[in-house]
Amino acid sequence: MKKIYNDEENKFSELLKDLKDLPKIKAPDNFEYNLLTRIKNKNFGNAVKERPQFSWAKFLAPSAVVVITIILFFIFLPSSRENNNQLLQQTKLRDNQSAVNNSLSAKNELKNQQSTPSNTKLQSNSPGLLGSNDRTTKPSVRSPLYDSRSIKLDDYISGSNKNQSNTNRGNIVNNGEEPSQYDGFIVSEKPDKKTLERYRAVVDSIKKAQLKADSLKKVQK
């Protein structure tokens, strides 16, 4: 290793000789005097860097910005917006209801399976040997537009739908025995009794007026 560097030094021998022969620069005569004067006057110039002093203004300005951004973030948090959206809430409610219904039906099916004898269970475990008593479990999802609870209006008017009895049809038309889970987007309002009576009185007075008019016409004839 040393040899390599010695060879390199030989390669640059002339340059090295010149570099060593360069005149030595000496400090000016007044160097020490100037240095002592600077020290006495505490004129340290570039030798000492001034450290930044602490000030409340420098500290408070950025911290205020940080606090304001945090407050604004919590005020305009995206989750709070979602809660206020009525339409989204309704869909969430519907989803939750269907999930509850599904879980209930699943529980019922589990109960049914437990009540069946153990032999059938074994048979059902072996593939391709399903017995007649065995049931394949399909998740029954109760959709709001369930088939038995819907009716084709055209068929209902013409009377061509013979599968459904009149009472069933009536139930369906009158919203069935149970209240429908799906209301759609139409707001259903119950009529006010007072307004009904008012309308009835108006209709009655019109009928009476018509009767009077008819009797007057007969008299004129």
3-state secondary structure at position 197: helix
* Separation between Cα atoms, residue 19 and residue 37, nearest integer Å: 35
**Residue at token pair 């950025």:** 62
* The pair of three-digit structure tokens given for residue 40, joined into one six-digit string: 């006495």
Min separation Cβ 54 and another protein, Å: 22
Q: Kindly state the DSSP code that residue 144 receives in the 8-state scheme.
A: T
- Answer for the pair 101, 142: CB distance below 8 angstroms, yes or no: yes
Is 219 a binder of another protein (CB under 8 A)? no
Is 33 a binder of another protein (CB under 8 A)? no
Is 72 a binder of another protein (CB under 8 A)? no
Is 18 a binder of another protein (CB under 8 A)? yes
Which one of 3, 40, 45, 147 is in contact with another protein (CB under 8 A)?
45
Residue nearer to another protein on the CB measure, 41 or 118:
41
Residue nearer to another protein on the CB measure, 44 or 146:
44
Point out which span in 12-20, 98-106, 132-140, 168-176 binds another protein (CB under 8 A): 12-20
Which one of 3, 28, 192, 219 is in contact with another protein (CB under 8 A)?
28
Closest Cα partner for 120 from 100, 99, 142, 135? 135
* Separation between Cα atoms, residue 79 and residue 37, nearest integer Å: 70
CA distances from 4 to 1, 19, 176 (A): 5, 21, 104
Which one of 39, 65, 67, 71 is in contact with another protein (CB under 8 A)?
39
Is 32 a binder of another protein (CB under 8 A)? yes
Residue nearer to another protein on the CB measure, 33 or 146:
33
Closest Cα partner for 142 from 182, 101, 93? 101
* Residues that bind another protein in the complex, under the rule CB under 8 A: 5, 8, 12, 14-16, 18-28, 31-32, 34-35, 38-39, 44-48
